[in-house]
Amino acid sequence: EKLAMMAISRLQSLPRGDIGLLCNTVVENVRELTGYDRVMVYKFHEDNHGEVFAEIKRSDLEPYVGLHYPATDIPQAARFLFMQNRVRMICDFTAAPVKVIQSEELMQPVCLVGSTLRAPHGCHAQYMGNMGSISSLVMAVIIKENDGDRGESGRNSMKLWGLVVCHHTSPRAVPFPLRHACEFLMQAFGLQLSMELQLAAQLTAKHIIRIHTLLCDMFLRDGPVGIVTQSPSIMDLVNCDGAAVYYGGMCRMLGVTPTEAQIKNIAEWLLEYHGDSIGLKTDSLIDAGYPSAPYLGDAVCGMAAARIGSKDFMFWFRSHTAKELKWGGAKHHPDDKDDGRRMHPSISLKAFLDMVKRRSLPWENVEIDAIHSLQLILRGSFQNIDDSGAKAMVYAWRNDLIFQGIDKLRSVATETVHVIETATAPIFAVNSNGLVNGWNAKVAELTGLPVGEAMGKSLVQNLVSEESVETVEKMLYNALR
């Protein structure tokens, strides 16, 4: 316990804002406590594939840090078990399993899920052999997740963020007191990691608001061309390989993108097959049903599209995953085959590598939120404006803003719009005529009335029940007086 407390004290003394340093310190502490040849922090990504995020090892062992592994290497069933039983030790995977003999009076078989001494599954034993490990100790890293980010009233839930994995090249057993100390260390690590992730989310939110403000400023000054040709550009909003704005039948591109003709074709496809939608995100244009996707090659696999006008779009593009990530896994023999009864990790990995060459990195929730917020801000600029008058509208706004000298107010207004659109409380707005000109996502969810249908309607005549008309009219009169 003293060793565990010293390790926890070391974690708590680390400077804030460096998740990598936190994970590196954890693997050092665990190796000092347990003596395993290799200790890794294994992180789960949003699409459930894993990454060796930090590692400390014996000098003669092959490094695994930076390698990514398919989600099937640690199935969902195994992840569920780690939420229940947070420490799993295998002393020697080569040891012959001992059959459990139970009383005939028992109606159900004995469940060994929570047992430290249960034998490993045959597939996992083979996987350990492929990696050159005889024994292992695996501990769950569980963090607090704020459900408010998903619109579920802001309560906290627990989430399996990853694992701390220990490998040894010979049989090794860790006594219970030491395992208990490691489990205590994992609890402290999970709490510290939760705080670091919250801090990172706050910094990301600030970055997004800053980019939103600058992009909207450029849009008001220079029109849609400005958010592609100047810095920062829409590429700086999210992680991507290329971006484009399709506006008024013209196309501006930045980075790795399809050709102008191909982007026009994508826009036509979106209008024809996703005309009722305000956008589309996919990590595989082939799977999304875009018929010309094979002609885009490996350069463009994933796409996020946001509609900002009747026929106008912003696009973000990503290349295939195999170009971005270093995938690793068990070595395999050419004669190894899945026989339908027993899974071979090596074959599973090969199939996965063939698949990801047709996919990009998945779009994270925070990235889609950032795109959606920018889309909502820019869509308001196109409301009720036809293509022929759009350029005049932009320059009229520019001259008016210069005349009034309200650059600072414009930035504040942009941030305010972002806060309103992403708020978990229902918020709507009306103009001086009582017509709806603001309708955030939460009020749309509660009323069942989409933004497009609510905008421009009379609050009193179209949306309020008859018994409330008089009360609402008085409220509007007092508010607008």
Positive or negative, the CA dihedral 339, 340, 342, 345 is positive
Examine the domain organization and report whether 114 and 57 are in the same domain: yes
Are the CB atoms for 302 and 363 separated by under 8 Å? yes
Quickly count: other Cβ atoms within 10 Å of residue 55's Cβ: 21
Residue 334 lies in a domain: no
Segments forming the whole domain that contains residue 305: 223-320+364-387
Which distant-in-sequence residues (6+ apart) come within 8 Å of 4 by Cβ? 33, 181, 182, 184, 185
Question: Do 382 and 412 have their domain in common?
Answer: no
Task: Take residue 361 and report the two structure tokens written for it.
Answer: 């990195």
| Alpha-helix runs per DSSP H in 383-464 | 387-404, 407-421, 441-447, 451-454
Determine how β-strand 313-318 pairs with β-strand 428-430.
Answer: unpaired
> Judging by DSSP bridges, how do beta strands 326-327 and 67-69 pair with one another?
parallel
Classify residue 379 by its DSSP letter. H
Per-residue pLDDT of the chain (481 residues; tens, 9 = 90+): 677 788 888 898 999 889 999 999 999 999 999 999 999 999 999 888 899 999 999 999 999 998 888 888 888 888 998 998 899 999 999 999 888 888 888 888 888 888 877 888 888 888 888 888 999 999 999 998 764 444 444 445 899 999 999 999 999 999 999 999 999 999 999 999 999 999 988 888 888 888 988 888 888 778 788 898 888 999 999 999 999 999 888 899 999 999 999 999 999 999 999 988 888 999 999 999 999 999 988 789 999 999 988 889 999 999 988 766 777 754 444 444 444 444 445 455 556 666 677 788 889 888 998 898 888 888 766 553 444 444 444 444 344 433 343 444 455 555 566 667 666 778 888 887 888 888 888 888 888 888 778 888 888 888 888 888 888 888 888 777 6
CATH label of the domain that carries residue 446: 3.30.450.20
- 176 lies in the same domain as 270: no
213-221 CB contacts, 8 Å cutoff, 24+ apart: 213/411, 213/414, 213/415, 215/374, 216/374, 216/377, 216/378, 216/410, 216/414, 217/407, 217/410, 217/411, 217/414, 219/378, 219/381, 219/394, 220/381, 220/394, 220/397, 220/398, 220/401, 220/410, 221/398
Pick the closest to residue 137 from 181, 100, 72 (CA basis): 181
d(CA 202, CA 190): 18
Question: Any idea what the CATH number is for the domain that residue 88 is in?
Answer: 3.30.450.40
Query: Both 293 and 188 in a single domain?
Result: no
Is 252 in the same domain as 158? Answer: no
Residue 215 located in a structural domain: no
Query: Which residue type sits at 416?
Result: T
